[in-house]
Amino acid sequence: MIVQATGERRARGWYLAAAGVFAVGMTGTTLPTPLYGLYEEQIGFSELMVTVVFAVYALGVIAALLVAGDFSDILGRRPVLLFALGLSLLSAVCFLSEGGLPLLFVGRLLSGFSAGLFSGSATAAVLELAPPELRARAGFAATAANMGGLGCGPLLSGFLAQYAPWPLKLPFLVHIALLVAAFAVTRALPETVARHDPRPPLRPQGMVVPQETRGVFLTAGLAGFAGFAMLGLFTAVAPSFLSKTLGEDNLAVTGLVVFSVFCASTAGQFLMSWVGVRRALPMGCLILTAGMALVGASLLVESLPVLVVGAVVGGLGQGLGFRAALTSVSTVAPDEHRGATISAFFVVVYVGISLPVVGVGALTLALGLRDAGLVFAGCVMLLSAGVGVFLLRRPPRVDTA
């Protein structure tokens, strides 16, 4: 049996410290985004291989969520977070070695394992470390740490690769320093899960969606899938769009464009506090639809400013819908299965971030980069618009700000 620790362990500052650890862990997962062009030159591979490398990361996330999604409910949040930080450190070491495509795959796979462990355990830890009166604020802190960390990765590596020495080494050295600091903070975090003997066995349990959460989980998962498909486009293929379709080769600009998506996502998450879950889910999907329309238009007219506007609008919609979806799922999940249910939600969204992007890479072989991007934008528009209209007609039953 698992019970959630309360009382003095929910001191006001601890949930922010846990959110900081979450952000540092997620930063490493997107560090390679502006560097893919340099790896292409150094190793020599196609756009399809870029998306496959990215998909290896997403597969690692999904595998970790399916195998160990409930481990933090059994072992506690802190041990799982420490292990996730260790995997992130090993991933950085793989990239530092510059051992060619095999170590690139290993590094991305380890990064995926780390992100998968962080997604459920860190989100649950942030929520549980917050006092009850700050639970809504903690929900924003958790999702903002996730998106903010993902956005800081390309921003950090883009600027370092463009303006500092050792473009393929320095970003990972800096991240290792951040991981060491995060490890120290995690060691100090109070544990929020208390275990009774005997401890349940650790075994893979796949997707865990308790019966009472399934109605909310379905619509939240669809909204999350559409939003993360857009994020996958920007974290895997957008650097190629910038350099090969729009003629922008500055890695710092690439990092800024990708950062703008995640920054807008964080702003959208912040706005959900005023909008509420019932309106934020459909509104986020419809704003995402408008953003993807602008992304498609930017490829047609070959305009960087239009792409940036599309990134900001799409990110705003994604963030609005993502926080609403995650809030609704975590609110209806029972305490003893909260980490596993949140992990199941992240399985759905990481399928969204991986499979569509690999489809773009495959389409580039037949249609070229621009036309493949247009097909992708159209598919995401149809999905997000459909989910948004459905949610307008049948709003979710949870309304937690």
- Per-residue pLDDT of the chain in tens (401 residues, 90 and over written 9): 444 444 444 556 899 999 999 999 999 999 999 998 888 888 877 778 888 888 899 889 888 888 887 788 888 899 999 999 999 999 999 999 876 788 999 999 999 999 989 987 898 899 889 888 887 788 888 878 988 899 999 999 999 999 999 999 999 999 999 999 999 999 999 988 876 566 777 777 667 777 777 778 888 898 999 999 999 889 888 888 888 888 888 999 999 999 999 999 989 988 887 888 788 999 999 999 999 999 999 999 999 999 999 999 999 999 999 888 888 888 877 777 776 787 788 888 888 888 888 888 888 888 888 899 999 999 999 999 998 998 888 776 664 54
Would you say residue 297 lies in a domain? yes
Would you say residue 398 lies in a domain? no
Yes or no: say if 239 and 36 are a contact pair by the CB < 8 Å rule: yes
What confidence score (pLDDT) does residue 12 get? 65
Supply the range of the domain harboring residue 289.
7-193+208-393
What confidence score (pLDDT) does residue 401 get? 43
Would you say residue 271 lies in a domain? yes
Would you say residue 203 lies in a domain? no
Which of 280, 275, 289 has the alpha carbon at shortest distance from 386? 289
Would you say residue 201 lies in a domain? no
Contacts of 75 (CB under 8 A, 6+ apart): 193, 195, 202
pTM for the full model?
0.85
Dmax (CA) for the chain in angstroms is: 64
What confidence score (pLDDT) does residue 396 get? 66
Angle (CA) 62-52-345 rounded to 5° is: 20
What confidence score (pLDDT) does residue 236 get? 84
Phi, psi of 209 (to 5 degrees): -130, 100
Contacts of 214 (CB under 8 A, 6+ apart): none
Q: What is the CA radius of gyration of the chain?
A: 20
Q: How far apart are CA 98 and CA 90, in angstroms?
A: 13
Rounded to a whole number, what is the distance in angstroms from the first to the last CA of the chain?
A: 30
Yes or no: say if 232 and 33 are a contact pair by the CB < 8 Å rule: no
Yes or no: say if 304 and 246 are a contact pair by the CB < 8 Å rule: yes
Which of 338, 324, 66, 69 has the alpha carbon at shortest distance from 192? 338
Would you say residue 259 lies in a domain? yes
The total number of structural domains that make up the chain: 1
What confidence score (pLDDT) does residue 4 get? 46
Residue that the structure tokens 């860190």 belong to: 122
Residue that the structure tokens 């350099």 belong to: 243
What confidence score (pLDDT) does residue 7 get? 46
Q: How far apart are CA 353 and CA 348, in angstroms?
A: 9
Helices vs strands, H then E, count in the chain: 15, 2
Would you say residue 143 lies in a domain? yes
Would you say residue 200 lies in a domain? no
What confidence score (pLDDT) does residue 48 get? 80
Cα four-point dihedral sign 100, 105, 109, 112:
positive
Q: How far apart are CA 342 and CA 320, in angstroms?
A: 17
Domain with 182 in it: what CATH number? Answer: 1.20.1250.20
What confidence score (pLDDT) does residue 277 get? 79
How crowded is residue 46: how many other Cβ atoms within 10 Å of its Cβ? Answer: 12
Contacts of 336 (CB under 8 A, 6+ apart): 1, 2, 73
